[in-house]
Structure 1
Amino acid sequence: MPIHHFDFLPFVGLSVLIAGLAFSALLPAAGRSLKRRRLLWAQSWVYAALAWAGMGAVATGRAAPLVGAPPTGSPLEPWVVPAALLVSGALFALLLRRRLAEQARQVQRRQDEVFEGLRERETLYQRVVDALPGGVVLLDSGGAVVAANAGAARLLRRRADELPGALLHGDATEIFGSRGELLDPERRPGALAQRRQASSGQVLGWHVEGKLRWFLSSVQPMDQDLSVYSFLEITQERGAQEQLAYRANHDELTGLPNRHRFKQALTEAMYASFWQRDRVAVLLLDLDQFRNVNGMWGHLAGDEVLRAITGRLRDLLPPGASAARFGGDEFAVCLGGVENREEALAFAGHLCAELGEVFSQGDTRVQVGVSAGLSFYPDDAHDEDTLLQYADLALSAARSTGPGGVAAFDGAMALRRERRVKMGEALRSALERGELSLVYQPVVALQTGELRSCEALLRWEDSPWGAVSPAEFVPLAEETGLIDALGQWGLEQACRQARAWADAGTPLRVAVNLSALQFRAGTLPALVANVLERTGLDPASLELEVTADTLAGNRLSVRRQLGALRSRGVTVALADFGAGHLAPGALRDLPVDRIKLGRPFVRDLEDCGKQTAVIGALLQLAAHLGLEVVAEGIETAPQHDLWRDLACPLGQGYLLGRPAPAETMTGLLRPRA
């Protein structure tokens, strides 16, 4: 057989090709492991060596020595190379199929991992959305539900399977806006979704299971003609907000609007009056001496009286009028559509008379006087604050006329107020510069005429307005916060004068009047003790006077402080007894040493003989309780004789001695051995 010639280079190239193809087919199975890749590379060269051996078996000539075997001359030798190529191709196809199958499995595995991750993430997102406290609904372009979370079903009180395809807010459903008005259908969420219009923070209300519930909602357009409608229930929050708003604008005790809400109503009335060309009347009402009701029957009884007055006030108001409570015992009324001032004044008088009728408090009948001050828009002012200020000035003028007074603002009141403002500033300066003074009025024994004590009285002589009465500047000091400084100054000056009389051998007890406001801080006993220590005055030479109204209005706190003063040896006197709301039976429990019968007793004693028996019984009661009695306001000889005949021990008045400077009082004193 002839020897087939076989070229060496194609032979080597074919072997390398087979090795490379085998390695490529097996490479995916190796992954990223370097060691496995080296093994696969060696395995590929084994396949190449097999191919080399197959082809070498038929080689002759130069190829025979390479395989170490001579040619056989077999008739199959020409087919060896094609067979080797065929085997190599089949092997390559097998390996390629394995590689493709492995790649397909890897792709499928990756897809499965991606899909599983997507499913897990979708499940997570659904859980998150379902866990939201509000409802989240996907709406289509027609406003129908495509999908909804569990919160939507919960808030709408519907099953989850009922929501898809449903119209949440059809025309038959009433939806309300934030102010409680019926919402325009064009502003409903479904309509917004149809127009692909966004909204945020819209407050809506609708009935769920028969109860009106409120929601904070928003609509956000998305892709594919879809919109996201989200809503969160705020029924409780809205209720709390409404409650806070109500409390911020209403009085807690009576339920009436407060000052802030009243000013809003007044603004609305003024606006309407401007177009109607009529008037608005502002009435300020004050209960005269209402603090005595609290003092005598307690604050609970006082609250009941305030509620009763509120009920009457509401019944008496004409349509369109509004009332308010400003605090304490002060009320306000706004009257719109007033044609003339006289009409409003007549209504105010009727209102005061009706409100001042007798109230029943348990077994007790309580009568409260009511005063009123009025101002008018646009006659007096054009803004709310000035109208209220002028009405307050009118109220002060009404109170000065007595219980049940009614007064309307006039220009003179503004001048008087300006005078009071300037006077307050001048009083402060006078106090700082020591321009005030004290005078002393004697208290004498009615049987013998002996000087027993005196009362120190404040005077302001050198003011820009001349001599100013204490009846004017003492209340002014209370209004401006000067009463504590004024009271301390008067107390210290009186104690220094009493010490001077004692050092001169003519000791005389000095009485000093106290304002009810001086008891507010609860530090009066310490203040008095400090003044006594600085002046060196014997506490027995000091007398402190309080009014019956002070004890009635601040009974507990005043009693404690007066008890502390008495324990130091200071005498306590109850002034103007009979003019206030303290009954004679209350004397037994009061921390006082002396009572001063007010001017009504003196006047009635002279005009009515029946009063003699009452005063006689009162004097006996005082003697039984160990209390000294002073008759105040004795101005005529008949008055003096009547009190002396009733065996009243002490008296005070112009007949017995007018208030005089300390030098004059010194001349009345006689040295005592």
Structure 2
Amino acid sequence: MSDNQKVKILVCDDDLTARILMKETLASDSIEVIEAENGQRAIEQFEKHSPALLLLDVSMPKMNGFEVCEHIRGHEKGKHIPVIMVTGSDDLESIHKSYAVGATDFIAKPIKWPILGERVKYILRASQAFADLVTQQHELHQLAFYDSLTGLPNRQYLMQDLQRFLAMAERNNYQAAMLFIDLDRFKRINDTMGHSYGDKLLRKVAHRLQANLRDSDTFARVGSEQSSQEPQLSSFGGDEFTIFLSRLNDPNEAMLVAERVIRSFSTPFQLEQFEVVVTPSIGISMFPNDGDNAETLLKNADTAMYFAKQSGRCCYKFYQDSMNAKAAARLQLEQDLRRALKSDEIVPFYQPQICAQSGRIVGVEALVRWLPAKGGIIPPDEFIPIAEETGLINELGRLVLERGCYQAKQWFDEGNPVRMAINVSAHQFRQLDFTQVVADVLQQCGLAPELLELELTESVIMSDAEENIARLIELKALGVSLAVDDFGTGYSSLSYLKRFPIDILKIDRSFMCDVNSAPDDLAIVEAILALAESLKLGVIAEGIEYGSQIAILKNTNQLLLQGYLFSRPVAAEYISPLLNQDFNHLMPAL
């Protein structure tokens, strides 16, 4: 065993003979004995070698054993190290004083050397067991009260002190604030880059928040009166964090902290070779107005955070009483949606797409509707955002894809080969197995791929153009058609657009509604038509309500028309009678 691996024992006695006998008794292959001839030297040796046990003679020059023991017990490294005092056999006063200054044990002179050796070994074993227990307790404390990923205090840590801080705030009649922080669209980082990158991002976010705690004048002012009540940053797991601020003069101080946090996120996070931008949504609740206990204060800050997300993300919102009623209604809607997905309340409606040249229906777009069992209809703009936030959008999208393909197969079997257009959400498209999902549904339904059209918005396909080109090529290889929905509302690069394997551009309804009265809209429509012609793409004009809107689309190749002029979105049974109908009478001559 090397000297570095040996257990070190420090023996301190001004009697050279005693030191030699101690060294002879205690030294072994596993124990190294270090000597000191007086109290001052003992302290120097202790600080230099950090021994595992000390033997101190009570009577020594310069510093006696009691003074040395007291000094060591006051040292950070000496709180739990075993100290054996060597006293006279009848010196009861020294024995009592030894324990008073923190000695672990004593041994009386004349020393029985074999007994000393066994006693030291026993105390070393007990000391190691105690050290192991302390380490284990520390590890358990870390697991119980700290987030393992970021190293920040967790919810349990915060809650154990929060009620005490709030009670102190109430006694002293001052305000406090809870900031609840959630990272916007964090899930897409995990989905697109993988969980390892997501974990790295969370660690960097925690570090940046901590840096702001240290550097912010507002933080410093808030925590200046009492160190035990400095602003407390905590991790609630996942992408949620909290900051508790005490001793506030008014809510403006909490607002300044929230604004500083938002500004700090404007700099991208570097994850290896990638630069990632992520933004925070922050909810703020104030004590005592928004809650007089920890649970209520946290719940209301969480509620306000949700409204910050609803307001466009990357912002903060203070809690208001009206939020709880709205949040409860939203939670109920989420629960109802989960049930509706399993009870056939979510159904596709279909809106015809008319060939401008023949006047016949050549396609339909599947548009999801929620028909509650208790009656009525819930519009998509009420439940689609909830589906996206909760991850239910993938289940909902799969349901519409399957039912739409089954319906198209049924019409085909009846002699009506109608192309089925299905909207694909960003969440669905980012699924790594989405192409396989589409292939499986086509096979399961027995639908020819050319009768399926997938519609993706311009913003979705442009979100990561290079990667999405590869995904679109995979889908195109299945034989399906690809359309860009809401075209004209995004910022497509023409160089990328030429590389996308798309078949159809859908002109957004916002450009068609006022096309006869808005010169700018007319110019956009004409530009889209020219682009489609140059790229040899088909065109679908949405939002057609009047025949006059169709006139400007003259001379457009592969033109389809969709809108209330022909039919609102309706259930499948109302589409079947229209499939053999001619709509030429509704259209001006093109």
Indicate whether the TM-score tops 0.5. Answer: yes
> 1:610–1:505: structure 2 CA closer, same or farther, 3 Å change rule?
same
> 1:623–1:195: structure 2 CA closer, same or farther, 3 Å change rule?
farther
Structure number, greater radius of gyration? 1
In the alignment, which residue of structure 2 is the partner of 1:153? 34
- CA separation in 1, counterparts of 2:315 and 2:511? 24
Offset at residue 278 of structure 1 (A): 3.0
On the 8 A contact 1:631/1:648 being kept in 2, the answer is no
In the alignment, which residue of structure 2 is the partner of 1:400? 310
Task: State how 1:409-448 maps to structure 2 within 5 Å.
Answer: 409-444=319-354
Q: Is 1:513 matched up with 2:386?
A: no
On the 8 A contact 2:95/2:106 being kept in 1, the answer is no
Q: Residue 256 of structure 2 aligns to which amino acid in structure 1?
A: F
> 1:549–1:330: structure 2 CA closer, same or farther, 3 Å change rule?
farther
The alignment covers a number of residue pairs equal to 518
On the 8 A contact 1:506/1:669 being kept in 2, the answer is yes
- CA separation in 2, counterparts of 1:648 and 1:376? 60
- Encode CA deviations 1:540-596: one digit per residue, 9 max, x unaligned: 111223345555668788766654432221223343456567655433454544344
> 1:409–1:669: structure 2 CA closer, same or farther, 3 Å change rule?
same
On the 8 A contact 1:139/1:147 being kept in 2, the answer is no
Task: State how 1:183-582 maps to structure 2 within 5 Å.
Answer: 189=83, 195=95, 219-224=104-109, 228=120, 230=124, 245=142, 249=146, 266=162, 269-286=165-182, 288=184, 310=209, 313-314=212-213, 315-316=215-216, 317-319=218-220, 320=223, 321-324=231-234, 330-340=240-250, 342-343=251-252, 346-347=255-256, 350-351=259-260, 354-355=263-264, 370-381=280-291, 384-444=294-354, 451-464=361-374, 466-478=376-388, 482-518=392-428, 522-548=432-458, 550-551=460-461, 562-577=472-487
Give the TM-score, by structure 1 length.
Answer: 0.59
On the 8 A contact 1:634/1:655 being kept in 2, the answer is yes
Q: Residue 174 of structure 2 aligns to which amino acid in structure 1?
A: D
In the alignment, which residue of structure 2 is the partner of 1:135? 8
Offset at residue 499 of structure 1 (A): 2.0
**What is the DSSP-based 3-state SS (H/G/I as helix, E as strand, rest coil) of the residue aligned with 2:329?**
helix
- CA separation in 2, counterparts of 1:544 and 1:555? 17
> 1:188–1:280: structure 2 CA closer, same or farther, 3 Å change rule?
farther
- Encode CA deviations 1:151-193: one digit per residue, 9 max, x unaligned: 3439855799x99867689559965779x59969xx9947899
Unaligned runs of 5+ in 2: 36-44, 88-93, 112-118, 224-230, 583-590
> 1:456–1:411: structure 2 CA closer, same or farther, 3 Å change rule?
same
- Encode CA deviations 1:622-664: one digit per residue, 9 max, x unaligned: 5555544445556677876666699894554556643222233
Q: Residue 8 of structure 2 aligns to which amino acid in structure 1?
A: G
Q: Which range is displaced more, 605-614 or 277-286?
A: 605-614
Q: Residue 343 of structure 1 aligns to which amino acid in structure 2?
A: N
**What is the DSSP-based 3-state SS (H/G/I as helix, E as strand, rest coil) of the residue aligned with 2:377?**
strand
Offset at residue 456 of structure 1 (A): 0.8
Offset at residue 486 of structure 1 (A): 3.0
On the 8 A contact 1:192/1:219 being kept in 2, the answer is no
- CA separation in 2, counterparts of 1:469 and 1:515? 17
Q: Residue 283 of structure 2 aligns to which amino acid in structure 1?
A: G
> 1:414–1:612: structure 2 CA closer, same or farther, 3 Å change rule?
same
On the 8 A contact 1:197/1:219 being kept in 2, the answer is no
On the 8 A contact 2:235/2:242 being kept in 1, the answer is yes
Q: CA RMSD in A?
A: 5.7
Q: Residue 303 of structure 2 aligns to which amino acid in structure 1?
A: L
In the alignment, which residue of structure 1 is the partner of 2:228? none
On the 8 A contact 1:284/1:391 being kept in 2, the answer is yes
- Encode CA deviations 1:49-77: one digit per residue, 9 max, x unaligned: xxxxxxxxxxxxxxxxxxxxxxxxxxxxx
Q: Is 1:660 matched up with 2:535?
A: no
**What is the DSSP-based 3-state SS (H/G/I as helix, E as strand, rest coil) of the residue aligned with 2:219?**
coil
More contact order relative to length (CA 8 Å, sep ≥ 6): 2
Unaligned runs of 5+ in 1: 1-126, 200-216
On the 8 A contact 1:288/1:370 being kept in 2, the answer is yes
- CA separation in 1, counterparts of 2:239 and 2:8? 51
Q: Residue 176 of structure 2 aligns to which amino acid in structure 1?
A: V
Q: Residue 462 of structure 1 aligns to which amino acid in structure 2?
A: P
- CA separation in 1, counterparts of 2:204 and 2:559? 41
Identity %: 29
On the 8 A contact 1:606/1:639 being kept in 2, the answer is yes
- CA separation in 2, counterparts of 1:442 and 1:507? 13
> 1:656–1:285: structure 2 CA closer, same or farther, 3 Å change rule?
farther
**What is the DSSP-based 3-state SS (H/G/I as helix, E as strand, rest coil) of the residue aligned with 2:372?**
strand
Give the TM-score, by structure 2 length.
Answer: 0.65
> 1:655–1:442: structure 2 CA closer, same or farther, 3 Å change rule?
same
- CA separation in 1, counterparts of 2:487 and 2:98? 76
On the 8 A contact 1:294/1:302 being kept in 2, the answer is no
- CA separation in 2, counterparts of 1:666 and 1:470? 24
